[in-house]
Amino acid sequence: MRGRKPKPTAKKKLEGNPGKRKLKKREPKPKISAEITPMEIDRRAHEFIAEYLPQLQAMGIFTDADQAALELMSVHYSIAWRAAEIVIKEGLMLKNAFGWAKHPLLQVLRDNSTAFKSYAAEFGLTPSARSRISVPEPKEFDQLELDLFGPSAQVVKHE
């Protein structure tokens, strides 16, 4: 497939449909996921998921179909950090049979950082990805609604 990747309809709606093109009506709508069953990954990857999964769920963009992508994102995050720690400890240059050379883990760090950034952009976790999304302002409640529903109206009622 050529050209740009299509933007999900939900994301277009959040942005206010800037192109004013007709929105898809029959786009798949995976269930919003409440929990994740992580695969066998290391501590740093689990910590990453524990920190960012609630944020993704709060934004309403994490679905059951996104679990594998989040797991891979956490693995790339973990590998990049492991490579960075080793490079910091051993130095940017290593001596080998031919003289001094760039540490080979610098490429591992670069590759996994790039892969992580791609996943992060897909989930809206980079500044530029977030700047493209506008979240609707919360509805202000009039006095009648507050009298009928009480202070909990702001939490319960959605538009």
pLDDT band at 17 (very low <50, low <70, confident <90, very high): confident
Per-residue confidence (pLDDT) for residue 72, from 0 to 100? 92
- In sequence order, what are the residues at sequence separation of 6 or more whose Cβ sits closer than 8 angstroms to the Cβ of residue 34? 57
Residue bearing tokens 């898809």? 24
**Residue 107, in any domain of the structure:** yes
Asked whether the predicted pLDDT for residue 60 surpasses 60, the reply is yes
Q: Is 66 a domain residue?
A: yes
Residue 18, domain member (yes or no):
no
CA distances, 36 to each of 10, 20, 33, 45, 137 (Å) = 22, 35, 7, 13, 29
pLDDT band at 91 (very low <50, low <70, confident <90, very high): very high
- Which residue blocks in the chain are alpha helix, DSSP H? 9-15, 43-59, 67-90, 105-122, 127-131, 143-149, 153-156
Q: What is the pLDDT of residues 126-152, one digit of tens each?
A: 877 776 665 556 666 666 666 666 665
Confidence category of residue 159, pLDDT binned at 50, 70, 90: very low
Mean pLDDT of the chain: 80
User: Could you tell me if residue 120 is inside a domain?
Assistant: yes
Extract the tokens encoding 149.
């529903």
pLDDT band (50, 70, 90) for residue 61: confident
pLDDT band at 98 (very low <50, low <70, confident <90, very high): very high
Q: Closest Cα to residue 81, out of 37, 112, 104, 58?
A: 112
Q: How far apart are CA 67 and CA 71, in angstroms?
A: 6
pTM over cut 0.85: no
Cα separation, 80 vs 113, in Å, equals 6
> What phi, psi does 85 have (nearest 5°)?
-60, -40
Nearest to 86 by CA among 116, 57, 108, 117: 108
Nearest Cα neighbor of 81 from 57, 56, 116, 54 is: 116
Count of structural domains within the chain: 1
Answer whether 66's CB lies under 8 Å from 33's CB.
Answer: yes
Give domain status of residue 59, yes or no: yes
Q: Which residue's entry shows tokens 């919003």? A: 32
The residue segments making up the domain with residue 79 are 40-134
Strands 93-96 and 99-102: antiparallel
Across residues 55-78, what is the average pLDDT?
87
The confidence score (pLDDT) of residue 124 equals 80
